[in-house]
Structures are given as structure tokens and as C-alpha cells.
């Protein structure tokens, strides 16, 4: 299924400052995939002033566009609600020593 493929690809995108992928970090707020292959990713960053924010968004755009069956990709960056550690998966919290 295209949704699952996209989610797997998003798990290959990392915040360079934190050794955890953006999905497990809780940075992906919403993922929508239409039957026509249009993809909308609503995501955030760990901090509004993240120096590599543009690189992360570009990497998401490029990797999702490269998936067969994807016709259009829209990546929307938001800071509402602000990201916090509670949004991370249990695995990410364990990996970073927060549990």
C-alpha cells in the first residue's frame, strides 16, 4: 500500500542533531495519500529555529517524490502544536534515554 511505503521512507529521514527518524520523533503530524497519488505531509521540527529545518523538509519532499505511484507531494511545516518529547515513540524515548 502506498501509505505504508511513504511511512517507511519517512523513517529514513533523520534530524541530524538527534539519531532518531522523524516518524519516531513525532515530527510527522499528519500523512494523507489520495487514490490519485497526491501526498500531503504535515510536519514540524524540534524547534522553530532548527538550523537544518530546510534540509529535513527538502529530504522529505525528494524521498516521497521518488516513490512509484506518487504524483504530487506537498510538505507543510507547522509549529502548532509545538513539538515536545511526549510526541516521541516509546522506542525513540528509550534510544535517547528518556525512559
The pLDDT score that the predictor gives to residue 33 is 97
**Residue reference for cell 519532499:** 61
CATH of domain 2-88: 3.30.300.130
CB-count exposure of residue 2 (10 Å: 0-12, 13-18, 19+): middle
pLDDT of residue 19 exceeding 80, the answer is yes
Residue 93 has a pLDDT of: 94
- State residue 15's pLDDT score: 86
Rounded-to-integer distance, Cα 65 and Cα 8, Å: 13
User: Grid coordinates 495519500 are at which residue?
Assistant: 33
Sheet of strand 28-33: strand arrangement: 28-33, 38-43, 72-77
Give the model confidence (pLDDT) of 28-81 as tens digits. Answer: 999 999 999 999 999 999 988 888 889 999 999 999 999 999 999 999 999 999
In which band, very low, low, confident or very high, does the pLDDT at 18 lie, cut at 50, 70 and 90? confident
Amino acid at each position: 500500500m502506498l501509505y505504508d511505503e511513504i511511512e517507511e521512507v519517512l523513517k529514513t529521514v533523520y534530524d541530524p542533531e538527534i539519531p532518531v527518524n522523524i516518524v519516531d520523533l513525532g515530527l510527522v503530524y499528519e500523512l494523507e495519500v489520495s487514490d490519485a497519488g497526491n501526498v500531503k505531509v504535515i510536519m514540524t521540527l524540534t524547534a522553530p529555529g532548527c538550523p537544518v529545518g530546510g534540509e529535513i523538509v527538502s529530504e522529505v519532499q525528494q524521498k516521497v517524490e521518488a516513490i512509484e505511484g506518487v504524483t504530487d507531494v506537498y510538505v507543510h511545516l507547522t509549529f502548532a502544536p509545538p513539538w515536545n518529547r511526549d510526541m516521541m515513540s516509546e522506542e525513540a524515548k528509550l534510544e535517547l534515554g528518556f525512559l
